[in-house]
């Protein structure tokens, strides 16, 4: 089994090196983008009269920008504040341009972007490749150039481009390509977030080489929910398809497993640790969807953890992958710069108490991560020095049910 896994890892790493030259050449997203996105927590709330604090409105994004600047989120690396669906008026204006809902965004998107920029942050916005967005607002079909110019004129820094309501797969692909080119023609640096492969997968295998030539990051799987079953399904899907998706990820283009839901209601502490650790291993964009105005100190500590973020943002830009699975334990690794490795031990068991998992260090890095010796540092669930090990050593870690132990292994 070890020989077979070593061969798989060599193939993934070699393919990743070849794919790096095929990324979208807009100079953006050299590491996975980080920020905040309203959708999972705030959905399509439009009744500001009865629920002003949770309504998708100018007020929500201004307040979130204030918190991100004042409470360490921006300094931790979370630089984008992103508007998702339901920001628009029901119709375009008399010139055919998209417009914000005038009651919920009375100052307009340009003024909101200026405010966000004044806080040292960047603004993201949402549209759709089809005739309508997923929530039924005007889509960008047949308006790609106009909408790109509009977003650029407003000072937008990221576009999340959804895939609802496109009549054919050919129109879907054409729309994603055309919007990418239209954004580049504006001359403004706008990160391009796609859902292209997710909408292809029910019918055909995505061409990730092509997708990376047009998109900075892309969704592959269903929307994340505030639940362990949702997090688990994303991890299971990623492991199952890692041979086709890991090799393409790298600077300029990333697989996006969707939002961080840490700080909401559905995850235990161990499950929150698992999401943060595994999103770091997967080199995932880190877009929180929570209420930063009301978040626990524990969730804030986890989301702002400098050691975990450093792994996520590692400049080598290689996505991690599952090495082995044994009795509900999963062992994952991610190559890092400086010949280091991030290692995650995930306990998928949902019954009982903490369990020990022991594995030979020769499993890591094709046998080279700990050759002739290595230091092991535990990052999560708490930071501690695990000591120095020889190449022939085994390492034992204790992991809570549905929890993860995240390690950094460095050759010495």
Active site residues: 162, 223
CA dihedral 241, 246, 247, 249 (to 10 degrees): 130
Q: Report the C-alpha gap between 238 and 348 in whole angstroms.
A: 15
Q: Report the C-alpha gap between 400 and 147 in whole angstroms.
A: 48
Angle at 150 between CA 103 and CA 254, to 5 degrees: 105
DSSP label at 222? P
| Helices first, then strands: H and E counts in the chain | 14, 16
Closest among 24, 17, 410 to 217, alpha carbons compared: 24
Take residue 135 and report the two structure tokens written for it. Answer: 């929530």
3-state secondary structure of 360: strand
Q: Which DSSP helix (H) or strand (E) runs through 399?
A: strand 394-399
Q: Report the C-alpha gap between 113 and 119 in whole angstroms.
A: 10
Q: Which residue has the tokens 């100018």?
A: 58
Q: Which residue has the tokens 């759709």?
A: 128
Take residue 388 and report the two structure tokens written for it. Answer: 């120095």
CB 34 within 8 A of CB 79: yes
Could you give the C-alpha distances from 337 to 19, 60, 252, in angstroms and in order? 18, 38, 17
Residues facing residue 332 across a β-bridge: 322, 344
Take residue 360 and report the two structure tokens written for it. Answer: 């030979």
| Cis before 270 (ω within 30) | no
Q: How many CB atoms lie within 10 A of CB 338?
A: 9
Closest among 293, 274, 284 to 218, alpha carbons compared: 284
DSSP label at 107? T
Closest among 189, 204, 105, 196 to 148, alpha carbons compared: 189
CA dihedral 76, 408, 237, 170 (to 10 degrees): 60
């Amino acid at each position: 089994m070890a020989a077979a896994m070593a061969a798989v890892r060599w193939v993934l790493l070699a393919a990743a090196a070849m794919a790096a030259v095929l990324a979208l050449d807009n100079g953006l997203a050299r590491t996975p983008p980080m920020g905040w996105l309203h959708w999972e927590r705030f959905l399509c709330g439009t009744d500001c009269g009865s629920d002003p604090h949770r309504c998708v409105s100018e007020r929500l994004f201004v307040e979130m920008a204030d918190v991100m600047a004042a409470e360490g989120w921006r300094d931790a690396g979370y630089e984008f504040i992103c508007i998702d669906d339901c920001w628009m008026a029901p119709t375009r204006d008399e010139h055919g341009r998209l417009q914000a809902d005038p009651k919920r965004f009375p100052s307009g998107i340009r003024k909101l972007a200026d405010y966000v920029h004044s806080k040292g942050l960047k603004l993201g916005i949402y549209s759709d490749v089809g005739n309508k967005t997923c929530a039924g607002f005007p889509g960008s079909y047949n308006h790609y150039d106009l909408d790109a110019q509009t977003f650029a004129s407003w000072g937008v820094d990221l576009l999340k481009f959804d895939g609802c309501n496109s009549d054919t797969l050919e129109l879907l692909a054409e729309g994603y390509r055309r919007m990418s080119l239209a954004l580049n023609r504006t001359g403004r640096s706008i990160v391009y977030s796609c859902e292209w492969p997710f909408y292809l997968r029910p019918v055909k295998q995505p061409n990730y080489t092509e997708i990376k030539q047009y998109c900075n990051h892309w969704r592959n799987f269903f929307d994340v929910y505030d639940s362990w079953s949702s997090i688990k399904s994303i991890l299971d899907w990623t492991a199952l398809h890692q041979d086709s998706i890991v090799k393409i990820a790298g600077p300029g283009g990333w697989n996006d497993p969707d939002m961080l839901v840490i700080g909401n209601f559905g995850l235990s502490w161990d499950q929150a640790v698992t999401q943060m650790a595994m999103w770091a291993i997967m080199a995932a964009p880190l877009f929180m969807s929570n209420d930063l105005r009301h978040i626990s100190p524990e969730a804030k500590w986890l989301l702002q953890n400098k050691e975990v973020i450093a792994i996520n943002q590692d400049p080598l830009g290689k996505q991690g992958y599952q090495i082995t699975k044994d009795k509900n334990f999963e062992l994952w690794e991610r190559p890092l710069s400086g010949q280091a490795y991030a290692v995650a031990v995930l306990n998928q068991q949902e019954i009982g108490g903490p369990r020990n998992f022991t594995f030979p260090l020769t499993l890591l890095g094709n046998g080279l991560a700990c050759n002739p010796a290595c230091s092991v540092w535990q990052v999560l669930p708490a930071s501690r020095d695990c000591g120095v090990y020889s190449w022939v050593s085994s390492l034992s870690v204790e992991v809570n049910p549905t929890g993860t132990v995240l390690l950094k292994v460095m050759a010495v």
